[in-house]
Amino acid sequence: MKPPSDAMQPASTTDALLAAARSAAPASAMPAGTSPLLGVLRRELLLTLRRRSEVATVLVFFVMVASLFPLAIGPEPQRLRAIGPGVLWVGALLSTLLGLPRMFGEDFADGTLEQMVLSPTPFAWLVVGKIVAHWLVAGLPLVLLAPLLGLQFGLAPQALGLLVVALLLGTPLLSLVGAIGAALTLGARGGGALLALLLLPLYVPALVFGAGALTAQAAGLDYSGYLALLGAMLVAAVFLAPPAAAAAVRIAIE
């Protein structure tokens, strides 16, 4: 048998390298021995640990937004209690926006996102992992920090508990809707400003019902309807947002 010619060796080497590159990217996105969802979630959290300053930036921004309003308005307790829920919700909303451009942007730039789209796992399922990771990094810390910031507005213990419940329903909704906006603006010039312009109107219902629950509680009214509406929007977003974000990412890649 004749040895392979020199003209065929570069082609076979190139094919081997391409095959290795195609298999390496999905493996990095989904570590061996884990489900695809947990693999993406683990990968995103490990990458976040390497960017601790970005997580700190979100928390510091939330603290600054919530702390500047009492300084500007004055120390009148009744006025602070009235504006406290709205200020905390606006701060959480704006802080959530900070991490959205990185949800798909970095993976889009280095080609990992394209490999995820081409993987045999449904891409919408991988998007769920990215959304959960975003909420764990940019949403859950705000929920835990909000009661401490609520003390400077003079909120009662019952109001602080209701604030935590409302944010637990609202911040995942912000991450889910934000994933759609991040996918739609993927690769666009000036994507950060465009993302804010696109999402802020969509965030208004969550802001209104979340802050409205605390306003109703302070007035002695029934606030269960506000929480029910937040929960209904969250359930709808859980089923609709991942497929919509996945479709938008495919359009951006193509």
If residue 132 lies in a helix (H) or strand (E), which one and from where to where? helix 123-138
Report DSSP state, residue 147.
H
pLDDT in tens, 77-92: 888 888 999 999 999 9
Please give the C-alpha separations between residue 39 and each of 53, 125, 126, 128, in angstroms, as whole numbers.
23, 11, 9, 11
How far apart are the C-alpha atoms of 196 and 160, rounded to whole Å?
Answer: 28
Please give the C-alpha separations between residue 234 and each of 99, 137, 140, 194, 229, in angstroms, as whole numbers.
20, 18, 15, 24, 9
**What string of pLDDT tens digits covers the 254 residues of the chain?**
444 444 433 344 334 433 443 443 333 334 444 587 788 888 888 887 787 777 888 899 999 988 888 888 877 888 888 899 999 999 999 999 988 888 888 888 888 888 888 888 889 999 999 999 999 998 999 999 999 999 989 899 999 999 999 999 999 999 999 999 999 988 777 667 888 889 999 999 999 999 999 999 988 899 999 999 999 999 999 999 999 999 999 988 87
Would you say the pTM of this structure is higher than 0.75? Answer: yes
Cα angle at 195 between 193 and 199, to 5 degrees? 125
Q: Which residues contact 108 (CB under 8 A, 6 or more apart)?
A: 114, 186, 187, 249, 252, 253
- C-alpha closest to that of 95 among 56, 58, 41, 129: 58
Q: What pLDDT is recorded for position 190?
A: 66
pLDDT in tens, 109-136: 888 888 888 888 889 999 999 999 999 9
If residue 88 lies in a helix (H) or strand (E), which one and from where to where? helix 77-99
- The token duo for 244 is 């919509």
